[in-house]
Amino acid sequence: MTVTIGRRELLAALGGAAAAWPIAPRAQQSSMPVIGFLNSETPIGFAPQAAAFRQGVSEAGYVEGENVAIVYRWADNQVGRLPELAAELVRLEVAVFATTGGVAPALAAKATTTTIPIVFMVGEDPVNLGLVASLARPNGNLTGINFFNSELVAKRLELLRELVPAATRVAVLVNPANAANAETTLRDVEAAARVIGLQIQVLNASTNREISAAFTTLVRQRSDVPFVGNDAFFATRRVQIAILAARHAVPAVYAQRDFAEAGGLMSYGSSITDAFRQVGAYTSKCCPLCRRKRTSDLCVNETRPDLTQRFQKSTRKWPGRSGVRFIALSRSLCVSAAGSGSVCIRQSLRLAG
């Protein structure tokens, strides 16, 4: 038997079904807070940091895909794209911003919204950058993590000088694609180098190929030591940089512990991976649909720098230190960090002529 149904009856049936099905899913979706994750680099090389960020979010009881959504936007080392990406996240009605990968993402988000909470992660003084009014009382809609790495330039140069006392020229590696950060790095290095009598040579690199070329130039022009600028792009290329430093037998001190963990000789600064975890935890606190705490009530959290050295048995001769060898020998060392007390870590170092 054939059953016929009129147009009105069909539309009524479909309309009723459409109205009935999506009610629960839409309600669940609208109640799930959305975090807008904005980064100046590419996801390649940032997998451990992104995982640490999610870990920080989960410490507050929020799991991506279950009770919180995270929308990722990467600028692919094109800082000029950040305002557009920040505006896109605002249109998506994210509940909170998490800006990582340098100062530029935080500034882009700040220029885009004055109401959505923004959690930043920067290596410079956020007060001097104009992000917050003070560390204790940020005011406005921004707060975050300050890991001091850009403020430790002088200390890292001193460590390089201790490694290579005869050094007279340091090659500074900066990323011209991040012009503001490169300018700040060069200004700080020039001031610190002048105090201890070092000349500087500027090396620019914004791609993998340019990083390799920079190390070739460093060796060819006989700079004594390299100084790698604190830049998010270099952080994603830390394994490549550590390998090149070892291949060309040049001692380097880095701004982030992650470089030493990737095989670099020495770092003096904070762990960026742990800073990402802290940003995740702070983001959960600032999310209006999560903890309902105002960013102005959350002080800027300051991480503690530490010294990490990774010496292995070697007869490698460093430029300026003819015949000197580094041999592993563990001993304890306390590093004093201004405003944060003393941090005890493990150091491995012995000089043998």
pLDDT of residue 316: 40
Superfamily of domain 10-148+273-302: Response regulator (3.40.50.2300)
Q: Give the model confidence (pLDDT) of 255-278 as tens digits.
A: 888 888 888 888 888 788 888 999
Global confidence as pTM: 0.69
38-52, 221-235, 263-277, 298-312: least confidently modelled range: 298-312
pLDDT of residue 53: 96
Superfamily of domain 151-269: Response regulator (3.40.50.2300)
Q: Give the model confidence (pLDDT) of 120-141 as tens digits.
A: 999 888 998 899 988 888 888 9
Domain boundaries, the chain: 10-148+273-302, 151-269
Q: Give the model confidence (pLDDT) of 179-196 as tens digits.
A: 888 998 999 999 999 999
pLDDT higher at 228 or 321:
228
Q: Is the pLDDT of residue 353 over 80?
A: no
**181 within 8 A of 229, measured Cβ to Cβ:** yes
Q: Is the pLDDT of residue 348 over 50?
A: no
Two structure tokens written together for 53: 């960020």
pLDDT of residue 7: 43
pLDDT of residue 193: 93
Q: Give the model confidence (pLDDT) of 292-336 as tens digits.
A: 556 556 677 666 666 665 544 333 444 443 333 332 222 223 232
246 burial via Cβ count (<10 Å: 0-12, 13-18, 19+): middle
